[in-house]
Structure 1
Amino acid sequence: MDILYNKEGVPLMMNSTFFFADTVTDKKTTDERRRVLFPYDDTRRGYIYVGDERVVTWGNDNRFPWEAVNTVRDTTVLNTGLHFLRNLTLGQGIFACRVKGYDDKGDEILEPIDDPKVQSFVSSRQVRRYMEKVLRDYLKVGCGAVQFVPNAAGNVVVGLNALNCLHYRFTEPDSDGNQKCVVSGTWDISPSDYDILPLLNDYDPDSQAEVLRFLGRLNKGFVYAVRDSWSNEDIYGEPIWWPAYVAGWVDIAHMVPSFLKKAYKNQTTWKWHVQIPYSYWDKKFPVSAYKSQKERSAAINKYMDEIEKNLLGPDNAEKPIFTNYAVNEMNGRVEEEWKIMPLSNKYNAGQENLVTSAAANSEILFALMVNPNVLGAGMPGGTYAGNQGGSNIREAFLVNIANAWIDRQNILDPLSLFIKLNGSPDCELRFRNTILTTLDTGAGTTHKLS
């Protein structure tokens, strides 16, 4: 407990150590904090030099990947929603096939590829690892990247190495639109240990890769970037969840549980109003009994801590407190009586805060284009009320799969190029999906290719 004393050592105001507080920042401060995360734009694009290469910084101070990853990790619904999107997009793996034609409904008629090398590749851990890691960064920061690894001779591509978004940056395009990828495990303002690899362009990456191989310039390989182009950011892209952060819903998702935790822990601190007369201190702690004012103040602090323990805290909330008082013989007035008045607790916002939290969760999921009902996040009433029945969940799940088509194609493009560079027959890659069905079909699930 902190006690404010006057010059004579009389306590004037007491500030309990058990308290709940919130901080408010002005718009300028909030904007500055958000710029730490904000990806670059043409008005704030920054550059650093790594060797002779001019590298475009990724966000303010080149720290966007770190800040974005931490934001996702620390936001429950955002982390879960992106994890759900990754798993849904990957489905049950991929399948190599040829398209023989189309049926009357317009659906593809697929024929499996009988090349064991291709089938072994698409079902390998290398491909699973590539898709999982690149899609992770694609969703978290808006850009993933994979290194095509050559053999020792440098003339054949033999592997795919998914690059962590924390460890690479792209150079500024030259006059022909060509870029490079700078990879370093120790990124700071300008790393001293790094590799520089060619970065395939977006216009025709397959042809550029063929040219590099023909010219014998594979060396350490090259990098294929997998970007989400919706933001119009050509260098790094922008994550799908970014609008929810800018609008403040991610902040609200953090604030509500923090507020409720403090409120539930400290709500007993709002129960009493204690009024103590000044004359009480003169009799309880006479100045003559202490060598110094500092010693007397320490004694008062210790005494009030003991009183506070009787009034506050989960273990002491119901304990009684006993005090004495005196009556002035001259006028018959009570002068040293402690008044301990119960306060009316005005805090009834628990349900309101839970509704606000649910709204924040829903808004974040909306930004991800995930129906909250799929994750059991539908609200029981109000603006975001939804039916969490089986049919609603099935339909939402099917909509998610339909929306995943472009993201799946972006993930498959590097795999198709790898198969092509290794001289395998032309083939198409499709995803396996488990589709929820109704019980009247005789099965709970069915399997589809997409």
Structure 2
Amino acid sequence: MSEKEQLGLLDMLKGLDLKKLKEISTHIDLKEIFTSISKMDKVEMYNLMRALKAGNKEQKIPEVNSDFYDLNSLLTEEEKAIRLKVRKFMEEEVEPIANEYWKKGEFPHELIPKMAALNICGLTFDGVGSSNQSYLLEGLISMEMARIDTSISTFFGVQAGLAMGSIYFCGSQEQKDYWLPKMQTMETIGAFGLTEPLVGSAVAGGLTTTAKREGDTWILNGQKKWIGNATFSDITIIWAQDVDDKQVKGFIVEKETPGFHPEKIEDKMALRTVQNAVITLKNCKVSEANRLQKANSFKDTAKVLKMTRAGVAWQAVGCAIGAYENALKYATNREQFGKPIASFQLVQDLLVKMLSNLTSMQTLVFRLSQLQDAGTMTDEQASLAKVTCTMHTREIVSQAREIMGGNGILLEYNVARFVADAEAVYSYEGTKQINSLIVGRAITGLSAFV
């Protein structure tokens, strides 16, 4: 130790009174410490002094910010206000009960009037509620909901996207005028019945649910599976194949219709709050007035799916944000070896990987919604976003659980719910493989579908 360093150490010791030195000596061997210090070289002494100085500083933990590239600054003031309104609702009304309802596998019906009061249903549908808003805002709403509870985001997506979208794109003006205002205020809850027990990815190739016209009545027979909201929906959009012309047609089936039987799917490991059902249609009679007048082939159904597939990509981003934010908060509070685990290199590396993927996803869906608002978004662009975002979300939720160690599998820490829910988002609205083939066909000009 140099003479200058010795003098510096003596000055530091002078600042301590005898009472303090006695107190310190009851916990540590001062003689041994001074002996060790005297043997230190310059580098070792530098590192010691640096550590001591750092220990004297109270490090301020920054606020959690998952919008690392400040995309929020690109929004209008109105869009920012609506986004914050939805965020407040989700944090105050949904977050406190999310785990409870997910665990029970039940839906919090008491939330529906509160959600309706937000006035956010059907924002992009002209002439419906607070319409003329952007697809970008609609995506942000889906993201904000999924950030807290992917199940609630799914419920809302079925209501405001699939069900309302079917009527908006495929219904007559009379049907739109009658049903959409009631759905916008959530007085009427909707469901969307396309997937079947034996037909999932292959829906475009034909449905097993049939529709036979007899005068002004249609007779529907078959089954639908994984139909969200269907256990309590007031109306369900049922897609069936016309036995005469072999084309897909859509029907608005009201819940009390004879021959319409929904049965709740039990024991799901994901999106447990969403009430999915198997629907059995047995000689279910629907009037011609309840047939979607502009749904004459699967191409019309695809219009709805194209719109909502972009929403699912946003939903995946929200799920990833929820996992990332929970993991980051946990890492800055959880201490091991005497300090927060967020101070360890391996944990910081995981957090940066998560944020990197998350930021890429955010910029991708932001641009996708801009294309959608411009009316130029293609099927393959929506599919690429769905593939990319759901794939990276699986990685992010897995890394969040890894940071939390054993606590990551407990519901009380929230991330376990995001891990499970990410699996469902990865598969619905077109599996990873199906959406990849849609993109593959676009970039090669060759179809790989069977």
Normalising by structure 2, we get a TM-score of 0.26
Point out the structure with the larger strand share: 1
Point out the structure with the larger helix share: 2
Which structure is larger by alpha-carbon Rg, 1 or 2? 1
Bigger relative CO (Cα 8 Å, ≥ 6 apart): 1
Normalising by structure 1, we get a TM-score of 0.26
